Amino acid sequence: MSELKKSSQSWSMWALLLVGLVAALGVFLFIRNRKKQQETENSDQDVTEVPDKDEDEDEIILVNYKIISQGLEIEGIEDETMHRLITAQAMHETAIFDSPVFEKNKNYFGMGHPSKRPTTSTGKVGGYANYETLVDSAKDYALYYKYVGLPNFTDAKTFAAELKKKDYYTDSFVNYSAGVSAHFKKLNQLLNVG
């Protein structure tokens, strides 16, 4: 009978251990899912605040990259390389987020107020499209991009060449391409560090 008692105690210990493991796994999964849910909620928040000029330039670039990516994704441009290229373009257009049009109009790209295509612009201020938020500026760029039928690109030079063909900018191709390429390289370095 003592063998039966030992066997029963052994099974009880194993059952208790199994219950403990299942409970620990349940707590782990609950915490992991809650953390993912919070990250999703935080990423869904509309980032519209213009970063302070006193912040580190790299931080300003990264914050604006996130804002631009958010607006592009809302309008269906999901390719990360395109997010980087378009942010590099915005860096060039705004002198790294420091131009009067950027500050006054929340306009990343020096866009005019369109007359034919869909837009998020609220109208014209000083000859340029004006936006309620920075995300709206990025969304409007995505609307333009789709409207003129541009594909995804993988390098800044080809991207700048296609924009020139669409008469997007009046600057020389050499200057515009060099500027966007330099900003694309810097942004990639910043994003690949983390």
- Decide if pLDDT at 44 tops 50: no
The amino acid that residue 73 corresponds to is E
| Nearest Cα residue to 181 out of 79, 64, 91, 62 | 91
Task: Locate the DSSP E strands across 26-127.
Answer: 123-125
Q: Do residues 177 and 85 touch, judged by C-beta distance below 8 A?
A: no
- Whether this prediction's pTM lies above 0.85 is answered by no
Give the integer Cα–Cα distance in Å for 9 and 47. Answer: 59
- Decide if pLDDT at 105 tops 70: yes
Give the integer Cα–Cα distance in Å for 34 and 81. Answer: 30
Give the integer Cα–Cα distance in Å for 111 and 63. Answer: 21
Give the integer Cα–Cα distance in Å for 159 and 135. Answer: 22
Average pLDDT score, the chain: 86
> pLDDT tens for residues 115-143?
999 999 999 999 999 999 999 999 999 99
| Nearest Cα residue to 96 out of 131, 64, 54 | 64
Residue 89: Cβ within 10 Å count: 26
- Measure Cα distances from 89 to 64, 96, 122, 176, 184 in Å: 12, 10, 22, 9, 8
> pLDDT tens for residues 139-153?
999 999 999 999 999
Give the integer Cα–Cα distance in Å for 74 and 44. Answer: 10
